[in-house]
Amino acid sequence: MSDRFSTVPLPLSSPGTERTLAVRRYGRPGARPKAYIQAGLHANEIPGMLVAHALAQLLEQVSVLGEVVVVPVANPIGLDQRLHGVALGRYTFDRGVNFNRGFADLDDVIAAQVAGHLGTDAADNVALIREAQAAALAERSPQDALDGWRQTLLSLALDADIVLDLHCDQESVLHLYTGESLWPAAADLAAWLGCRLVLLADDSGGHSFDEACSALWWRLAARFGAAFPIPPACLAATIELRGRSDVDLDLAAADARSLLRFLQGRRVVDGAPGALPVTSCQVSPLTGVDRVTAPMAGVICHLARLGEVVTPGQVVAEIINPTAADLATARVPLVSRVKGLVWARAAARFAQTGDVVVSIAGSEPILERTGTLLGD
């Protein structure tokens, strides 16, 4: 086992604003399988940072068969965003861009590079595509400091067999997002973590970090067809480690042990992980998520518990306008459109019109939904 700590400089946004990424590397560079794990891409989501720290402590005590790269704080730009004592870090200050959107789409460039060179051996095709990935990313010129930060993260992760992006929601059960093309191959990850929910989509919109690493593979497979086998060679997932306030040493230690067992099961790390836990995890299409929004501003009163299964028409929350002239119309019930699991709720207790108050995962697509599948 080798533990190599380094700092990677990020592009400057202006003179005197130097920032770096702290990177821990375990195992032999270039060894397979390679796992990349990062936390804090949304810099106000702290649980993953603590889990990454706990996982690093475990990795120092084991033999790494492949390679593991851990970036415990992926967004030093957002981590520095405080306004009147409140930590922000989800959006850029200057343009209001979500930090987990807009990662480079290299599909067309890579497809052009490998066209005419793919063969009938899947492993050879994977190696060829990974070479093209590295070349395409190296030739790309970042447009600004934000784009340069995105490119730096991708340069650490793009060739990995496993990419785990640690996040959290406002208030939620432990769940993860991954591609339809990666299921049920990723079921072991959900089982080790004890996920209550897995949300599936091959294109959730916005080109988030995990899809920037994984979606290329199934898109190239569709483009070139069965004559040139291209497997989904990167298992990427966004793991939502409950809610923002779930920053707890015991929880983090347990989550880190679960990730270590997953890595052992995938033979990235030596050791026997034990029997895969039996779970009651719900698997839903991301198109089946009912995001219940506030029709007016007011105080949020949650009526459905996290992890509760609700039915269509069930009242899951109320919005109460304390300034309403007519008290009879001051309370508005919010109802579920689907039968499904209440997996996330707003942490704030006052909503503006249009705010998402409750998220419910149904088993069937909601046909009348519009917009991208991910909330911003």
At residue 1 the predicted structure's pLDDT band, cuts being 50, 70 and 90, is very low
Domain 286-362 coded CATH 3.90.1150.10: no
Cβ neighbours of residue 73 under 8 Å, at least 6 residues apart? 21, 22, 39, 40, 43, 49, 79
The arithmetic mean of pLDDT across residues 354-364, rounded, is 96
Is CATH 3.40.630.10 the classification given to domain 3-280?
A: yes
pLDDT tens track for 309-338: 999 999 999 999 999 999 989 999 999 999
Q: What CA–CA distance (Å, rounded) separates 371 from 376?
A: 11
Q: Which part of the chain has CATH 3.40.630.10?
A: 3-280
Tokens representing 13 are: 């946004």
The backbone torsions φ and ψ at residue 360, rounded to the nearest 5 degrees and listed phi first, read -125, 130
* Strand, helix or coil for residue 37: strand
Residue 35: C-alpha distances to residues 134, 165, 194, 202, 342 (Å)? 17, 11, 20, 21, 31
pLDDT in tens, 158-203: 999 999 999 999 999 999 999 999 999 999 999 999 999 999 999 9
For the stretch 95-112, pLDDT in tens is 899 999 999 999 999 999
Q: pLDDT of 279-308, one tens digit each?
A: 889 999 999 999 999 999 999 999 999 999
**Terminal-to-terminal C-alpha distance of the chain:** 40
Cα–Cα distance, 365 to 143 (Å, whole number): 37
Helix-helix angle 209-224:107-114, to 10 degrees: 40
Q: Are 75 and 92 in contact (CB under 8 A)?
A: no
Whole-number Å distance between alpha carbons of 59 and 84: 38
Span 226-238, mean pLDDT? 98
pLDDT tens figures, 35-92? 999 999 999 999 999 999 999 999 999 999 999 999 999 999 999 999 998 999 999 9
Contact 1, 64 (CB under 8 A): yes
Which regions of the chain carry the CATH code 2.40.50.100? 286-362
* Per-residue pLDDT, 371: 63
Q: What is the pTM of this model?
A: 0.96
Give percent of the chain with pLDDT exceeding 70: 98
